[in-house]
Amino acid sequence: MSNQPIDTPTPVLFQAERQREIVGLTAERGRVEVAELAGQFGVTTETIRRDLSELQQQRMLRRVHGGAVPWETSEFEPLLSVRADLHDSEKRRIARRAVQELPDTGAILIDSGSTLSRFSEAIPQDRSLRIVTNSVLNVLTLAKSDAFEVTVIGGILRKNTLAMVDAQAVEAVAELSVDTLFISSDGFSPARGLTTPYREEAAIKKAMIRAADRVVALVDHSKFGHDHLVRFAEWSDVDVLVTTSELGAEAVAEIEATGTTVVLA
């Protein structure tokens, strides 16, 4: 059995995987602590500090005293591949339950993001739907079915998320009128509603909400209590929140008190 200390030089692959996880956790939680990360990954705090320094140099996060926060500029978002790996089983549960909120016919709008990607995969093939989305991944999934009429929102592609969220995309959404919007969020809380660190994301999400008669938010419980820089929806904007059953009863009651229906998957 090896007697090497925990903080021996880390294999490159493991270090890359750890840093990838750190970026995802920072995006998910809004802030991570050095000591907590060291315990989670079984390395020293100095190793974590080096990781954070390297990730800051890559503009993947921003170091703060004792930890790190997301790199909150419109030019950076966590890679979709990073977010897709986080809580994937929960996202699949949400997607399966959210299908019950679909109309039988009509027009729907689907936001971008890993949870909405899973939702696009779960839509039954027997629905006669006109589907609008700003997500390339959603388009690739939906195009496999002859049942759907798919409209792609144009604009400049953001490669990290494979979605269009620029001013041109916002203008295109402003011309729409749909029955139901399925939207995601980086964070939610009873007091602040739905929030994101990214101003461009907030702009297109606001436009999507204005375009829809009914709004269904798909957000897993890990986002609860994380209030980010920009609010794009109050609870009065959201008809239904589909989240995971791990969300506490007190949180459910607080949100439902605002008039939003909470559905647990």
The verdict on 27 and 139 lying in the same domain is: no
The pair of three-digit structure tokens given for residue 211, joined into one six-digit string: 């375009």
Cα–Cα distance, 53 to 78 (Å, whole number): 17
Angle, CA 91 vertex, CA 154 and CA 129 arms, to 5°: 45
Residue 218 near residue 115, CB atoms below 8 Å: yes
**How far, in Å, CA of 203 to CA of 164, rounded?**
12
The label of the residue with tokens 């998957």 reads 265
Does a structural domain hold residue 2?
A: no
Q: Are residues 119 and 176 in the same domain?
A: yes
Q: Which of 131, 139, 237 is nearest to 176 (CA)?
A: 131
The burial of 172, by beta-carbon neighbours within 10 Å (0-12 exposed, 13-18 middle, 19 or more buried), is given as buried
Domain tally, the chain: 2
CATH number at residue 44: 1.10.10.10
Q: Based on the domain organization, do 184 and 61 belong to the same domain?
A: no
Is residue 165 assigned to a domain?
yes
Span 79-99, mean pLDDT?
77
Domain end call among 70, 99, 115: 70
Does residue 202 fall inside a structural domain?
yes
Are 161 and 115 part of one and the same domain?
yes
Mean per-residue pLDDT for 248-258? 97
Ordered alpha helix ranges (H), 30-87: 34-41, 45-57, 80-85
Q: Residue 46 sits in which domain range?
A: 12-70
In a domain, 32, yes or no: yes
Residue 57 binned pLDDT confidence (cut-offs 50, 70, 90):
confident
Q: Is the pLDDT of residue 73 over 70?
A: no
Determine, yes or no, domain membership for 6. Answer: no
Please give the Cα distance from 180 to 157 (Å, whole number).
24
Residues 130 and 156 in one domain: yes
Q: Is the pLDDT of residue 71 over 80?
A: no
Asked whether residue 204 falls in the same domain as residue 105, the answer is yes
C-alpha to C-alpha distances, 178 to 99, 150, 151, 261, nearest whole angstrom: 17, 13, 12, 20
Could you tell me if 185 and 225 lie in one domain?
A: yes
> Could you tell me if 240 and 180 lie in one domain?
yes
Element (DSSP H or E) covering residue 174:
helix 167-174
Determine the straight-line distance between the first and last CA of the chain, rounded to whole angstroms.
Answer: 44
Same domain, residue pair 194 and 229: yes
pLDDT of residue 100: 97
In a domain, 201, yes or no: yes
- Considering only residues 239 and 36, tell me which one the structure prediction assigns the higher pLDDT: 239
Asked if residue 102 and residue 33 are part of one domain, the reply reads no
Query: Cα angle at 134 between 133 and 138, to 5 degrees?
Result: 60
Q: Residues 75-93: what's their mean pLDDT? A: 64
What is the percent of the chain where pLDDT is above 70?
89
The tokens of 117 are what? Answer: 């990607």
Checking if the pLDDT of 86 tops 70, the result is no
CATH number of the domain encompassing residue 133: 3.40.50.1360
- In sequence order, what are the residues at sequence separation of 6 or more whose Cβ sits closer than 8 angstroms to the Cβ of residue 50? none
Instruction: Report the alpha-carbon distance of residue 77 to residue 81 in Å, rounded.
Output: 11
99 and 64, same structural domain?
no
Q: Domain for residue 99, yes or no?
A: yes
- Asked if residue 141 is part of any domain, the answer here is yes
Q: Are residues 94 and 137 in the same domain?
A: yes
